[in-house]
Amino acid sequence: MPELEIAFEHVGVPRQPTRSEVGAPRPALAKFHAPEIVFGHDSLAELGHSARRLGARRPFLVTDPGIVEAGWVHEAVGHLREVGLHPVVWHELTPNPKDHEIQAAYCEYVQTGADVIIAVGGGSCIDAAKGVAIVSANGGHILDFEGVDRVVSPIPPLVMVPSTSGTGADVSQFCVVTDTTSATKVTIISRTLVPEISIIDPRLLTTMPDWLNAATGLDALTHAMESYVSLAHNVLTDQHSLHAVHLVTRNLLPTLLDPADQEPRTAMAQGSLAAGMAFTNAILGATHAMSHQVGGLLDAPHGVINGVLLPHVIRFNAEQSPTRYVPLAAAAGIDIDRVPAAEVAEVLADRVRELADSVGVPRGLSCLGVGEHNVAHLARTTMKDACLATNPRQVTQEEIESLFRKAM
């Protein structure tokens, strides 16, 4: 995929040399994009100062009804007003942000004369905020920017406050939007989408419903594993990937068993952050490329779909090259001593499925509403997803169809 190899260089991921390139090998360059990060209990109190440092006067706060009901928007608005700012709140958003919702938010942004854009909420809120920023600076329609490096003009400053422990959107160069006409998700990748500031307050995680806690935790695990085996991984992303696997596999279930325990909540917040910093720089793979299509078709929770698909993609990739899965297994607490790499990868796939079982994720896509009649369409749209280009094993449409059927 030569056109995508070139695009990766544009978003800060050095192209890997091909087998046909000759000459003495040289170390690959490693680039790493990350926002300013404010992490810790009560860090939401820094929101006003952070926005004002970026030049805010009338910040545009994107959120959803659930975050409003939980009380976090009231607290966030209070911190903004404390420093003399006059925030505009927009909350007419549903899960898996829709193209028309982003266009509506953009119209409100323009009409109110807002400036710095803030998101308080999960990945949907953060992606919607990024969408507003893209359109406000570049014009057109949000779907015009699908693909890699299509956002050409600088966007307004972004401040992100995540309320879930998994999407990584608060530190990433990704924006995922549902195209409601074709019932697919489109992926927008641009270094301009890395926020200026990410404020991670573990308190906000305590109001997630259990299903969302499980879904976003499995999303973080998928980010960590796919970024580690990605063709675009590097020495700067690898340690973040492994640390995220360690934190998520040990702390996701405890957050469900004892939601009030702050220690695993904080660990999950850190795991989500590490996974986010890894995947935004190393990109992802087939699990996400496939998951985006199912989510667009059914408006189903992204992390739940990842939890179903990830074990199957691990087995598929490991058939060709299982070695990269060995450190991931070790990070997940699996004994790798004197065990062949192929066996380790199989145990890792089983362990992911066991974790998904323990947090209540369905065992197959059919439980979510996917049928045989959907497979060909899902496979066709998967082949167009930018995440597929960094999957460690090249894949055909027929192989994607087979993976979907195995995951049914």
176-214 pLDDT, tens digit per residue, is 999 999 989 999 999 999 999 999 999 999 999 999 999
Work out the pLDDT band at 23, boundaries 50, 70, 90.
Answer: very low
Q: CA–CA separation, 137 vs 139, rounded Å?
A: 6
For the chain, what percent of residues have pLDDT higher than 90? 90
C-alpha distances in Å from residue 280, one per residue of 173, 236, 350, 394: 6, 12, 26, 21
The answer as to whether 16 is a domain residue is no
- Answer yes or no: do 374 and 329 share one domain: yes
Comparing CA positions, the residue from 10, 13, 3 lying closest to residue 284 is: 13
Please say whether the beta carbons of 286 and 391 come within 8 A: yes
21: pLDDT strictly greater than 50: no
Q: Which two tokens stand for residue 129?
A: 């905020």
Least confident of 2-11, 91-100, 266-275, 307-316: 2-11
Average pLDDT over residues 219-242: 97
pLDDT given at position 27: 61
- Answer yes or no: do 199 and 60 share one domain: yes
The total number of structural domains that make up the chain: 2
Average pLDDT over residues 154-166: 96
Instruction: Write down the mean pLDDT value for the chain.
Output: 93
Average pLDDT over residues 64-80: 97
Bridge partners of 36, per DSSP, are: 197
Instruction: Tell me the pairing of strands 88-90 and 147-148.
Output: unpaired
Least confident of 25-39, 118-132, 213-227, 367-381: 25-39
Q: 23 burial class (0-12, 13-18, 19+ CB within 10 angstroms)?
A: exposed
The answer as to whether 360 is a domain residue is yes
The answer as to whether 19 is a domain residue is no
352: pLDDT strictly greater than 70: yes
Please say whether the beta carbons of 246 and 332 come within 8 A: yes
Q: Which two tokens stand for residue 371?
A: 């049928």
- Answer yes or no: do 186 and 217 share one domain: no
- Answer yes or no: do 77 and 172 share one domain: yes
pLDDT given at position 266: 97
DSSP annotation string for 275-291: HHHHHHHH---HHHHHH
Please say whether the beta carbons of 150 and 144 come within 8 A: yes
- Answer yes or no: do 183 and 324 share one domain: no
CATH code: domain of residue 282? 1.20.1090.10
Average pLDDT over residues 86-112: 96
Which of 206, 229, 254 is the C-terminal boundary of a domain?
206
Average pLDDT over residues 353-361: 97
The answer as to whether 28 is a domain residue is no
- Answer yes or no: do 84 and 195 share one domain: yes
pLDDT given at position 112: 97
Please say whether the beta carbons of 304 and 216 come within 8 A: no
Which of 206, 225, 243 is the C-terminal boundary of a domain?
206
Range of the domain at 66: 36-206
- The Cα diameter of the chain in Å comes to 64
Q: Which two tokens stand for residue 197?
A: 């500031």
Report CA torsion sign: 320, 323, 324, 330.
positive
Which of 160, 179, 206 is the C-terminal boundary of a domain?
206
pLDDT single digits (tens) 312-333: 999 999 999 999 999 999 999 9
- Answer yes or no: do 176 and 297 share one domain: no
pLDDT given at position 25: 54
